[in-house]
Amino acid sequence: MGGASLFSVLVSEAPIALAEELARFAPGDGEAGGLGLFLGLVRGEAGGKALAALSLEHYPGMTERAISGILEEARTRWPLLGGRIVHRVGRLAPGEPIVLVIATAAHRAPALAATHFLIDWLKTRAPFWKKEIYADGSEAWVAARAEDEEMAARWQALSGAPGGVAPAPAR
Amino acid sequence: MGGASLFSVLVSEAPIALAEELARFAPGDGEAGGLGLFLGLVRGEAGGKALAALSLEHYPGMTERAISGILEEARTRWPLLGGRIVHRVGRLAPGEPIVLVIATAAHRAPALAATHFLIDWLKTRAPFWKKEIYADGSEAWVAARAEDEEMAARWQALSGAPGGVAPAPAR
Amino acid sequence: MSSTSVRLRYFAWLRERLKCESEEIALPPEVQTVGDLIALQRRRGPEFATLFAPTSVIRAAVNQNFATPNTPVGPGDEVAFFPPVTGG
Amino acid sequence: MSSTSVRLRYFAWLRERLKCESEEIALPPEVQTVGDLIALQRRRGPEFATLFAPTSVIRAAVNQNFATPNTPVGPGDEVAFFPPVTGG
């Protein structure tokens, strides 16, 4: 299998086709021994208010470029065999998947570390903006979280260390 | 949704039904914001020899009990909303999924940390034994890896710290 | 696009507050960097002055790459301004 | 099962080497713990002596819970012996 085709990115208004996405990597090709996956889901409340929907804006062109760059960065850090990032844009209802990250490697440790890295960097380095639309009809743009910046920064501090330590989970 | 039913375990000779397993948790219920998943796949070679198959033996009864205990341990460490572990037994071909771990939580950090914890502990604390059946017809039982013991031990050292630090990925 | 202009793009609440997705503006010769362009924007009116204030959290990209105040800007460039990102 | 016996189970290469999956053996009164049982096993023949040697990596479970040499063993218990686990 050509290596390049096993790394790809999709930004789309369509629902994430989970079964098809997993089928890209499982069953495996006999090389990959571990697959890490993260799926972000829309929560039904935000700041104590019931949420009717999320609206996701992005910067067409730059978004794909930024995500591809994040995937390339992960490949310099871990011996990955495959990687896939899918991000929804447009209007999403509570419960819907908003982002999917998959990383495969010969062994579990790099696959899981890369998965964590990819979602942390995606949250702080890809041009997406979320607006919360509440059940009462009001709406508000989501403010960037300092916590996300800190989680991503930990990876930066580790960039000299291939395969580096996973950052501590925020609570 | 009842909390208990969102935590479950399956040991089976049947192939892992990936789409159905993911469908347990996605779309979400509006509470879960993050889903971490690990999938272990059979590699096509071991120690430089081509692999024809893996044969997985287990201890019926004790295996399910041990895995349920591992899942309970994860729930004491992170505020999980759901957890699922599926493990194949019997004969598996290269590329086939051998183990699936899923953990969901309100946020990504606990979901991903718990996923990593669950597979590390599963590898050292659940009664499964792998035999490698090589392409040349010979076979050998897999020896336990000191590296797996070390990765699991890191979590043990952290057991006093809820949500603790993820262990450094082994290379 | 005129040979001495830049394409500006705005996203999220910046787009809403300025009521503008995209515009072409003439690039005065003294504007050489993103920092210069931000200073220029500040002089375009009270809403611009607020949004592009030195204390603002606004981020920029030049030709679809993240930029800093020192990033060069020249005729024909696409310069985007937006709030800190909140995807994932 | 007799009232003074235990059920022994063997897994993986231990099962293959002993050519036995499961057996019932009488439990002498002096055998009170897993460690005592291992010492008893060692006296059953050369293959047992090797597999249950003090340097062996063999692990044990009593009634399907992981055990240590100090874990008590009594009549009617199910005691399993096996190599270190290698799942996942």
pLDDT of res. A158: 67
Q: Which residue of B lies nearest to D80 if distances are taken between CA atoms? A: B59
Q: Is A69 left (phi over 0), alpha (psi -120 to 50) or beta?
A: alpha
User: Where residue D37 sits, what CATH number does that domain have?
Assistant: 3.10.20.30
The pLDDT-based confidence of D68 (bands split at 50, 70, 90) is very high
Count how many domains chain D has: 1
pLDDT of res. A157: 74
pLDDT, tens digit, 9 for 90 and up, residues B124-164: 999 999 999 999 999 999 999 888 988 898 887 765 443 44
Residue D46 resides in a domain:
yes
Which among B147, B134, B126, B139 has a CA at the least distance from the CA of B67? B126
pLDDT of res. D3: 75
pLDDT of res. A63: 98
Q: Measured between beta carbons, which residues in chain C are less than 8 angstroms from residue A57?
A: 11-12
Residue C87 resides in a domain:
no
Chains C and A are in contact, defined as 3 or more C-beta pairs closer than 8 angstroms: yes
pLDDT of res. A169: 40
Q: Which has the minimum average pLDDT: A90-99, B1-10, B30-39, B75-84?
A: B1-10
Distance between CA atoms of A112 and B112, rounded to whole angstroms? 8
The domains of chain A, with CATH numbers, are 8-158 (3.90.1170.40)
The pLDDT-based confidence of A70 (bands split at 50, 70, 90) is very high
At D65 the three-state DSSP class reads strand
pLDDT of res. B171: 36
In this prediction, residues A68-91 reach a mean pLDDT of 98
Write out the H or E segment, with its range, that includes residue B128.
strand B128-134
Q: Which residue of A lies nearest to C22 if distances are taken between CA atoms? A: A59
Put simply, whether B128 touches D (Cβ < 8 Å) is: yes
pLDDT of res. A165: 40
Q: What is the pTM of this model?
A: 0.92
Contact B94 A30 (CB under 8 A): yes
Nearest CB partner across the interface for A166, out of B44, B163, B169: B169
Residue D88 resides in a domain:
no
List all chains that touch chain C, counting a touch as 3 or more CB pairs closer than 8 Å.
A
- For residue B166, pLDDT over 80 is answered with no
In this prediction, residues A117-124 reach a mean pLDDT of 97
Measured between alpha carbons, how far is residue A49 from residues A44, A91, A105, C12 in Å?
9, 18, 40, 21
pLDDT of res. D19: 97
pLDDT of res. C1: 62
Nearest CB partner across the interface for D87, out of B62, B122, B141: B122
pLDDT of res. D42: 96
Residue D87 resides in a domain:
no
Q: Which residue of A lies nearest to C88 if distances are taken between CA atoms? A: A123
Residue C37 resides in a domain:
yes
pLDDT of res. B74: 98
Distance between CA atoms of B111 and B120, rounded to whole angstroms? 14
- Provide the residue range defining the domain that includes D31: 5-82
